[in-house]
Structure 1
Amino acid sequence: MTGTHRPVIRTPDQRIRVFVSSTLRELAEERRAARAAIERMRLAPVMFELGARPHPPRALYRSYLAQSDVFVGIYADSYGWVAPGEEVSGLEDEYALAPPDMPKLIYVRASEHREPRLEDLIARIRSDDTAAYLPFGTAEELEELVSNDLATLLAERFDESRLHNGGGPEEIPPTPQSRIPVPQTSTIGRDREIAEVRSLFERGTKLVTLVGPGGIGKSRLAVEVAQGSADLFPDGRYFLPLEGVFEPGLLLPTVAYVLGIRDTGEAALEERISRALTGRRVLLVLDNFEQIVEAALLLVRLFDAAPSVSLLVTSRTVLRIRGERVFEVKALGVPEAVAHPSVERMHRSPAVALFVDRAQAVKPDFALTAENAPAVADICRRLEGLPLAIELAAAKVRLLTPHGIAQRLEESLPLLTAAARDLPDRHRTMRATIDWSVGLLPTEQRALLEDLGVFARQFTLEAVEALGTGRAWEGQAIDGIAGLIDASLVRQTEVGGRSVLSLLAVVREYALGRLKEHGESARMRAAHADYYSDLVAAVAPGLRGAGQSEAVVQLGLELPNLRAAVRHLVHIDRLDDAGDFAWRLLVYWWIAGFFGEVRVWMLELLGKDQPITPHTRAVAWFFALWSEMWQHPTEEVVAGLGECVRLFTESGDGDAAAMATAARATARLQLPLPDLDTAERELADAVHQLRDLGNPWAEAITEVSRGRLAWLRGLIDEAQACFDRATEVAESVGDHFTVSVAGNHQARLQLVRGDIDAAEAGCVRTLLVSVRLHFEEGVAYALEGLCAVAAARGDAERAGTLSAVAHAIRQRIGVFDAEAFTVHIPQLDGIRSAQPEAVAAGERRGAELTVPEAITLALPEHERSQLEPELARW
């Protein structure tokens, strides 16, 4: 086939829809075979088996064709029924109505009794170079042909979509969360290990697991390998900290989040990740994998889907999966036990070199001398070369001499080691070292450190102070944190202009263990959950109005603890509170693309053998069904959302019931045989209810759905009116998210109607609000709209540039070409045929631009200055 159909052929629910055209009764067995082949490929067959007449009415099959991506025609003897007032049969009309650029797979059964008009149609098909034409004999043969041809078609299309006009794959820019950390201190004694691990990747190893106990230096080694391997992984290296991830089901959502891949539930998250990584020579560093080792099989699936990806995993246990190469990280070399070691000889020991380096960081005038060298050597041997233990000990030279440190270790280690006999020797020593470090703290600081164990990777001083009520350190949070920072047990950094605190993973593990030993874990988990529940209650209302951008930024900084708070609530069986927590943040989950993880929480909640309110049950099922609605739409999903409507209504939450009604209508549209009339009535009812209830955010987003449905039906004026209303409502309350979504639909429809100036103004407006919200999907759509504007005005290079940047954003965040109403492609293809060199030059330029640079290029000059602060933080 040589048709011009866009390589990416996707639908709103991410399932390719295959329209099957044939006479019904004559080819019933063949239709069953075609359906089996399509479903075997996990695609959606569009057929008329239920309630079928000799041929469906024209309006119906025209609507179904409009929602389909591939046309399959099966012909035998009969030309089919010609309806009254029509000149051709539905069979021929379906072929004629299929868009010229839609891929067409045609199968003709051998026959000696074919009707003449069908012979004429088949002759016409043979001359169509956009159609693939194959004969078949039996239904079984047809099933195999359809399956093979669909597989080939999709492979060709997706390969084309992955390559940018013949070029190579683009880099996935790292998100702030995924950049390889820059060590704040020097790495000592690991040159050989760094070289050995790097050589494994040079020889083609795809998965290397760095194994060793806590504190041995696995994470630091992984960071150094990643930092020194840019030449091996030209498409990017990404660091994914997993210390706050405790459920295997959260691995993929965490990978997606750190890579900046949005999860709106509209496609399988594994598929989005695969698409973002396929064809890219990248390295993913998965740090602290041991607590979700059951998820290791997902890594095998990732290899299968994206074979060019390499993984560097740190874990205390071996993963035991196909392709794994285990690299044991050993302790640093310690000095030999000799009576009078020379200073020069001592310096050659990596463990001693590390001690000296870290000691000088806290006491610049510290030096290794003949007098203190034996004590330093003794410390390193007692700590068995464990890097973290040595660092903790070295931090004490501010208060103690090396001799004093060695003495205290000698006094405390035997007792502390005996208290933890169930742990490996080195881990027992690590525990003992932290115990010793903590033992030097005042009582209040010890208690504070233990309480900090309930926090996730990072937290604020304000959050710490909020948890202090009734604790031994109440009113002393500032001085206590300062003391813990001085003791190298707490770290202080700056994120997004805010001061944040963090614990090393092994220290947090220690702190939480002490809390459990003292029977205080549940109390502190509850206090943590209460603080973040109050925070969400205060911030979440801003998500639906003028404070939306600020709320999204604040919640993004707090996300690790929001996740921890939900886990705490579920863990301590406060299930109704967990449901309320999740529901308040519905808008945030949508904007941030975080539905996958919420679904895991809610399924865990439903699996608890505990009583919950009908409202909590409705919330949990709503989140659980959201992804199913897009990815696996069935009548059961529609019914499940109907049950959510009922439960919300019985709970007295009309607002939530109306939103569930809108979701049920959307689910109806995703069915292989969509119920357009019922969906239209439900969307209209939901809009009216939400307007009466005073929920402008949900009203506006539901108006967008009504506009999409109207556009799908060819009612352009009605669609425009819906988008206009959605934009008006959203702007009236400062809802940037819906302004972006509705505005992009509005602008694309204006492009279809030829109103280029209005479309440009609309795209600029939505680009501005999308940047303020850091809504990258909205940025991509706005850039695509401005690409179409440039193409319509004959600016081929600008069109190519904006298209390339938008495509790169889609690729990186895992958003397929899901928008059924994308309209920049025909304009871009048109100008490409007229000015191919200029478009190609623009695409090359776009491939080199960062997103902020592309946004600056796309905006009119007078609009650029107001976005400088936002772009500086992008």
Structure 2
Amino acid sequence: MVMTGDTRPVIRTPDQRIRVFVSSTLHELAGERRAARAAVERLQMAPVMFELGARPHPPRDLYRAYLEQSDVFVGIYGASYGWVAPGEEISGLEDEYRLAPARMPKLIYIKSTDERDDRLRALIARIQTDDTAAYLHFRSEQELEEQVAGDLATLLAERFDESRVISELEPDVAVPSLISRIPVPYTTTIGRADDIATVRDMLTAGTDRVVSLIGPGGIGKSRLAIETALATEDLFPDGTYFVPLEGVLEPGLLLPTISFALGIRDNGEAELEERISHALDARRVLIVLDNFEQIVDAAPVLVRLYTVAPSAVFLVTSRIVLHIRGERVFDVPSLSMPVGGFPASLDASTRSAAVALFVDRAQAVRPGFDVTADNAQDVADICRRLEGLPLAIELAAAKMRILTPSGIAERLGKSLPLLSAAVRDLPERHRTMRATIDWSVGLLPEVQRDLLEDLGVFATRFTLDAVEALGAGRSWDGQALDALSALVDGSLVKQFDMGGRSVFSLLAIVREYAIGRLKARGEADRVRAAHADYYSGLVHRLAPGLGGTGQADAVRQLGLELPNLRAAVRHLVYTNRLDDAGDFAWSLLIYWWISGFFAEVRLWMLELLEKQHAHPITQRTRAVAWFLALWGEMWQRPSEQVVAGLGECVRLFTEAGDDDSAAMALAARATARIQLQDFDAEKADAELREAVGRLRDAGNAWAEAITEVSLGRLAWVRESTSDALAHFDRAAEIAEQGGDLFTRSVAGNLRSRLNFQLGRIDVAEIEFVHTLTISVGLHYDEGVAYGLEGICAVAAARGEAWRAAALAVAAGVIRRRIGIFDAEAFTVHTPYLEILRGRDAAGVAAGEGAGADLTVADAVKLALPGDEFARVAEAVSHW
């Protein structure tokens, strides 16, 4: 099979699975669809099988959105052209093919048959002239599965070398945000087309600022939110962001979590709410907030956000209504069930959604299963007893590996009434869902049941290594892999790839069940302590790499573990291991700075300080807590009290014998002093110089380089440009020697700006280019904006009106998106652009018009020479 088109899709990392859209008629090719899905999943890709196939009345907007989210089109054609709905000229089958983007590779499989509809023959003839499509004939389902798997593997192999760019940067430096990406649905979504359309209509109307999807756990709120987000991307041209809140338990963490998803780095220099409102201003975005019920007290924050950002819309999933103005509630219904006491339909086209879901999930564990005259009543009874709750149905269907429908129905009939009676304080559907989990877990062997309960201490996701570390002394010690695999088979644990590794997760309601059982056994604190110890050890292993050559990998690994880092430090504070909590937070100081989590850490440290009266802490822990609590105050509300507080940190660190940390606190005190309106420049300079010397003696190259940057900024403000350049030179040299790319980019941006102001255009351009490539590799938005502005200034100085203006606007788009703004003293491009505007107004205006439409990749390509862009093309393609 040979592809003749010019499309060259990027090879994605495992956390961004390639999505394969499968198009075919429904009933005629049901077996072939199962074969195609098996082939796609064999290659760890994600099958996109819209509502089990092209339907008589296809919701065009929905499958258009699915197609736009997909990477490969697979068309399977047999004898039937498909039904043409009233008022339509073509079938859904042909419409899906036509709507597939031109850039998308198309793999077409034609079933050998003696008869074929004339219109399908015509469609196939057109496909054969499409140079982005390749086609083969097949005879059996098994042959089709092998062909699809082989062709997808070949497609990837052909493009792998073309998509791989060897960069001089660290090989794993490019780390796109995994948080804000809409999760890939790894199984078919069934029975939600009407709900998706209804919620889309709510969002389209634009009259409601918050649309809340309300319902009990297990009813499918998160899946509906995900599918709606995928189906409404055309309504939100400025982006859709998915913000999981499952591991966020403190209302004060809502803003830091949203800012992280938006790509806003919280370095403490401005109020988060101000930066978020700045980033959302005039942008039509959808922000999905999943599992809001546990921080419902933070709901008024959404009102403040949509007040200052009137173009932003929030789609919320919650078990309870938020009760804020601007909220529109959609009660998520159960799936439709067989009416009355009737059995399930033998005809797939007339089945209820609940039955269709049961059959689909049952086929995953027992291929070939379907509704028959012998089991139709049992299948219907199962769906009715489970009240159409999707998760409950999936758990029951997973038991088809060992039970028949009759066996499942019988056991549910005996168990559910008794189990739900034990939790009468819950609403009806909550009781049913909890009872179903209890029934499903009750069928597990003791080892698997114990493991599931212990897994409740993990937040959001976890690795096999982490699970095995908790096993010491537990009943499942040494059996983690087998027991975990069994839980995956039973649909109680989900497995997926993220960041190049296999990870596991529990649904929120299963996690609640597990931790509740663990508490009832009196084991929760013990297992949580083991969890905190494991992640404390992980932090201490990774932290030394944060300041040097291991920086990119350490930041990536810590980012993937962030929910469990939160859970670990929360447990340490909760169980009064306050010194351990302080050490944990201080070890990650560089991570908090690079990734921007100071507001979050501040909450933990303030809680720690509140508990110190009843639970004494060391002087070093007190210094750590005060330092991290005062960091944001230093920038946002500078005062003599903040300066004095950081001075107290210097004293406490010194008395504790931690000279390294004392020097960092001294540098912070000097920086806080500079923020005062009438600051003592000589004193600040002396403190910074003293801190540099002490940090050098301590061997803390990262902090030494950062402090040299602060000295350079101070000298620049004091108009001592030669001293400023010397400090920036020293900072860049230290960072480069240690492999600290982040600080190298910060120092380089400042040095190149100053060189430009001094008229050293060629020197400045070389460094602007270099720091831009570093920032792209780091996925550092601020650095990219600075680099684009720098090259804009060079272009303006050389009279390149269109290019300079386009880069200025592109950089401004990034600034607004991440809510950053700078002191005017360090801005270099705007004066030169204004001069150029007076000379070539038309060229500047044309460039500004074009710049607004540039993607980040387009802007970087416009800024960099061809050979430099080739080095970062792969990294920037992820943005």
- The normalised TM-score by structure 2 is 0.77
Question: Any idea what SS the aligned residue of 1:789 has?
Answer: helix
Q: Residue 688 of structure 2 corresponds to which residue in structure 1?
A: 683
Q: Residue 376 of structure 1 corresponds to which residue in structure 2?
A: 379
Q: Residue 553 of structure 2 corresponds to which residue in structure 1?
A: 550
Pick aligned residue for 1:476 from 476, 479, 500:
479
Question: Any idea what SS the aligned residue of 2:827 has?
Answer: coil
Residue 768 of structure 1 deviates from its aligned partner by 2.8
| Counterpart mapping for 1:226-625 below 5 A | 226-338=229-341, 342-344=345-347, 347-608=350-611, 609-625=614-630
Q: Residue 181 of structure 1 corresponds to which residue in structure 2?
A: 183
1:771 equivalent in alignment to 2:773? no
Do the aligned partners of 2:303 and 2:324 also contact (CA within 8 Å) in 1? yes
Question: Any idea what SS the aligned residue of 1:758 has?
Answer: helix
Pick aligned residue for 1:641 from 635, 646, 649:
646
Gaps of 5+ in 2: 1-174
- C-alpha separation between the residues in 1 aligned to 2:355 and 2:584? 50
- C-alpha separation between the residues in 1 aligned to 2:561 and 2:823? 30
- C-alpha separation between the residues in 2 aligned to 1:541 and 1:288? 35
Residue 872 of structure 1 deviates from its aligned partner by 5.0
Q: Residue 106 of structure 2 corresponds to which residue in structure 1?
A: none
Q: Residue 165 of structure 1 corresponds to which residue in structure 2?
A: none
- C-alpha separation between the residues in 2 aligned to 1:517 and 1:222? 33
Q: Residue 87 of structure 1 corresponds to which residue in structure 2?
A: none
| Counterpart mapping for 1:17-166 below 5 A | none
Q: Residue 720 of structure 2 corresponds to which residue in structure 1?
A: 715
Do the aligned partners of 1:532 and 1:565 also contact (CA within 8 Å) in 2? yes
Q: How many residues align?
A: 702
Residue 435 of structure 1 deviates from its aligned partner by 1.5
Letter in 2 for 1:800: A
Q: Residue 127 of structure 1 corresponds to which residue in structure 2?
A: none
CA deviation profile, 1:357-406 (whole Å, cap 9, x unmatched)? 22223323111112111101111111111111011111221221111111
CA deviation profile, 1:817-865 (whole Å, cap 9, x unmatched)? 3463121111222223322333333334433333244334433333344
| Counterpart mapping for 1:707-746 below 5 A | 707-746=712-751
Q: Residue 191 of structure 1 corresponds to which residue in structure 2?
A: 193
CA deviation profile, 1:175-199 (whole Å, cap 9, x unmatched)? 5322333322232223333233233
Do the aligned partners of 2:344 and 2:371 also contact (CA within 8 Å) in 1? no
| Counterpart mapping for 1:194-213 below 5 A | 194-203=196-205, 204-213=207-216
- C-alpha separation between the residues in 2 aligned to 1:577 and 1:353? 51
CA deviation profile, 1:776-819 (whole Å, cap 9, x unmatched)? 21222122111111222222222223222322222222212346
Do the aligned partners of 2:461 and 2:503 also contact (CA within 8 Å) in 1? yes
CA deviation profile, 1:495-517 (whole Å, cap 9, x unmatched)? 22222211112111211111111
- C-alpha separation between the residues in 2 aligned to 1:664 and 1:866? 40
Residue 869 of structure 1 deviates from its aligned partner by 5.0
Question: Any idea what SS the aligned residue of 1:186 has?
Answer: coil
CA RMSD in angstroms comes to 2.0
Compare 267-276 and 841-850 and name the one that shifted more: 841-850
Residue 625 of structure 1 deviates from its aligned partner by 0.8
Residue 252 of structure 1 deviates from its aligned partner by 0.4
- C-alpha separation between the residues in 2 aligned to 1:678 and 1:607? 33
- C-alpha separation between the residues in 2 aligned to 1:743 and 1:819? 18
Residue 642 of structure 1 deviates from its aligned partner by 1.0
- C-alpha separation between the residues in 2 aligned to 1:347 and 1:381? 17
Question: Any idea what SS the aligned residue of 1:687 has?
Answer: helix
Q: Residue 53 of structure 1 corresponds to which residue in structure 2?
A: none
- Call closer, same or farther: CA 1:707–1:348 in 2, change over 3 Å: same
- Call closer, same or farther: CA 1:857–1:346 in 2, change over 3 Å: closer
- C-alpha separation between the residues in 2 aligned to 1:611 and 1:810? 44
- Call closer, same or farther: CA 1:340–1:802 in 2, change over 3 Å: closer
Pick aligned residue for 1:656 from 661, 671, 684:
661
- C-alpha separation between the residues in 2 aligned to 1:461 and 1:796? 55
- Call closer, same or farther: CA 1:175–1:551 in 2, change over 3 Å: closer
Residue 346 of structure 1 deviates from its aligned partner by 9.7
Do the aligned partners of 2:345 and 2:351 also contact (CA within 8 Å) in 1? no
Residue 345 of structure 1 deviates from its aligned partner by 9.5
- Call closer, same or farther: CA 1:341–1:814 in 2, change over 3 Å: closer
- C-alpha separation between the residues in 2 aligned to 1:830 and 1:340? 79
Do the aligned partners of 1:767 and 1:779 also contact (CA within 8 Å) in 2? yes
Do the aligned partners of 2:344 and 2:355 also contact (CA within 8 Å) in 1? no
Do the aligned partners of 1:250 and 1:597 also contact (CA within 8 Å) in 2? yes
Pick aligned residue for 1:752 from 730, 737, 757:
757
Pick aligned residue for 1:798 from 800, 803, 818:
803
Residue 341 of structure 1 deviates from its aligned partner by 6.1
CA deviation profile, 1:416-446 (whole Å, cap 9, x unmatched)? 2233232222112111111222222222211
CA deviation profile, 1:637-685 (whole Å, cap 9, x unmatched)? 1111111111111111111111111111111111122222221111111
Do the aligned partners of 2:709 and 2:731 also contact (CA within 8 Å) in 1? yes
Question: Any idea what SS the aligned residue of 1:610 has?
Answer: coil
CA deviation profile, 1:192-218 (whole Å, cap 9, x unmatched)? 332332332333111121211111111
Residue 343 of structure 1 deviates from its aligned partner by 3.0
- C-alpha separation between the residues in 2 aligned to 1:781 and 1:819? 13
Residue 613 of structure 1 deviates from its aligned partner by 1.1
Question: Any idea what SS the aligned residue of 2:504 has?
Answer: strand
Residue 521 of structure 1 deviates from its aligned partner by 1.1
- C-alpha separation between the residues in 2 aligned to 1:490 and 1:273? 35
- C-alpha separation between the residues in 1 aligned to 2:851 and 2:496? 34
Do the aligned partners of 2:728 and 2:747 also contact (CA within 8 Å) in 1? yes
CA deviation profile, 1:537-581 (whole Å, cap 9, x unmatched)? 111111111211221122122222112211121122111111111
Do the aligned partners of 2:345 and 2:371 also contact (CA within 8 Å) in 1? no
- Call closer, same or farther: CA 1:284–1:479 in 2, change over 3 Å: same
CA deviation profile, 1:203-258 (whole Å, cap 9, x unmatched)? 31111212111111111222222222234323222221111100000000000111
Larger Rg: 1
Q: Residue 94 of structure 1 corresponds to which residue in structure 2?
A: none
- C-alpha separation between the residues in 2 aligned to 1:174 and 1:297? 30
Residue 873 of structure 1 deviates from its aligned partner by 4.8
Q: Residue 216 of structure 1 corresponds to which residue in structure 2?
A: 219
- C-alpha separation between the residues in 2 aligned to 1:372 and 1:281? 50
Q: Residue 821 of structure 1 corresponds to which residue in structure 2?
A: 826
Compare 580-589 and 478-487 and name the one that shifted more: 478-487
Gaps of 5+ in 1: 1-172
CA deviation profile, 1:316-354 (whole Å, cap 9, x unmatched)? 111111122222222222222336665349944222122
- C-alpha separation between the residues in 1 aligned to 2:463 and 2:846? 47
- The normalised TM-score by structure 1 is 0.78
- C-alpha separation between the residues in 1 aligned to 2:637 and 2:759? 36
Q: Residue 706 of structure 1 corresponds to which residue in structure 2?
A: 711
Do the aligned partners of 1:175 and 1:259 also contact (CA within 8 Å) in 2? no
